[in-house]
Chain A
Amino acid sequence: AQSVSQHNHHVILSEAASLELGCNYSYGGTVNLFWYVQYPGQHLQLLLKYFSGDPLVKGIKGFEAEFIKSKFSFNLRKPSVQWSDTAEYFCAVVDAGNNRKLIWGLGTSLAVNP
């Protein structure tokens, strides 16, 4: 079965530090990839997505992610984090062959210290 693995469950950074959150998926076919963010007390929001084309995708708030097909990875990056980036980050993959079901990672909790 399709699965998504997020390597870091809890990350603590200081402001201005660089961020990279790992995400690997198991499906070998055509995939559509997402990063969602959930700020404290708020609902899930789309951060960025990859469907096709340029494997380096840019999202909101300075985030970007790189799709590396050979590594089944879609890591999220930000060169300089801010306190307001404190949130839960979820990687998700659409299983196009399974009713377009969204397969979720367990999430990574990011805390940015001012």
Chain B
Amino acid sequence: EAGVAQSPRYKIIEKRQSVAFWCNPISGHATLYWYQQILGQGPKLLIQFQNNGVVDDSQLPKDRFSAERLKGVDSTLKIQPAKLEDSAVYLCASSPGTGSFEQYFGPGTRLTVT
């Protein structure tokens, strides 16, 4: 089965610019997650979707970050405007969502804000 797809793989922007990341989960997976992973740390959950509804966005900096999952499949994560401290790898993961807690991860997008 195809894995979780993410694009772009790398992005370099200047502070105050905007950026968007795209994620395509494994087909049929109801739950989609966006994580931020700063070098040397574990992933930090930003937002969790169940189908196209938000389940948890308690750690999403809503003044600059936004995410949507239209039609319950693909998802985009946007940062506007970016700050230097947003430099990190942004991971997308998906899980079947019913009885299985295992998450499958995409390759991530490495964002550098200069």
Instruction: Indicate if B91 sits at the interface (CB-CB under 8 A).
Output: yes
Specify which of B31, B42, B55, B102 is in contact with A104 (CB 8 Å cutoff): B42
Interface residues in B61-103 by Cβ distance below 8 A to A read: 91, 93, 101-103
Specify which of A44, A49, A100 is in contact with B105 (CB 8 Å cutoff): A44
Instruction: Indicate if A65 sits at the interface (CB-CB under 8 A).
Output: no
Given contacts A34-B102, A43-B91, A44-B91, contact A99 B48 (CB under 8 A): yes
Specify which of A46, A96, A107 is in contact with B102 (CB 8 Å cutoff): A46
Chain A residues lying within 8 Å of B33, measured Cβ to Cβ, are 102
| Number of inter-chain CB pairs below 8 Å | 44
B13-52 interface code vs A (CB 8 A; 1 in, 0 out): 0000000000000000001010000001111110010000
Q: Which residues of A approach B to under 8 Å, CB–CB?
A: 32, 34, 36, 42-46, 49, 51, 90, 92, 94, 96, 99-102, 104-107
Docked Cα-Cα span, A18 to B96, in Å, equals 35
Docked Cα-Cα span, A102 to B40, in Å, equals 18
Chain B residues lying within 8 Å of A43, measured Cβ to Cβ, are 91, 105-108
Chain A residues lying within 8 Å of B31, measured Cβ to Cβ, are 100
Chain A residues lying within 8 Å of B93, measured Cβ to Cβ, are 44
Docked Cα-Cα span, A74 to B102, in Å, equals 16
Given contacts A32-B101, A46-B104, A90-B43, 7 further A-B contacts (CB under 8 A): A44-B43, A99-B48, A99-B56, A100-B31, A100-B101, A107-B41, A107-B42
Chain B residues lying within 8 Å of A94, measured Cβ to Cβ, are 101
Which of B42, B55, B105, B108 has the most CB atoms of chain A within a 10 A radius of its CB?
A: B42
CB atoms of B42 and A90 under 8 A apart:
yes
Docked Cα-Cα span, A104 to B44, in Å, equals 8
Docked Cα-Cα span, A43 to B104, in Å, equals 10
Docked Cα-Cα span, A96 to B100, in Å, equals 11
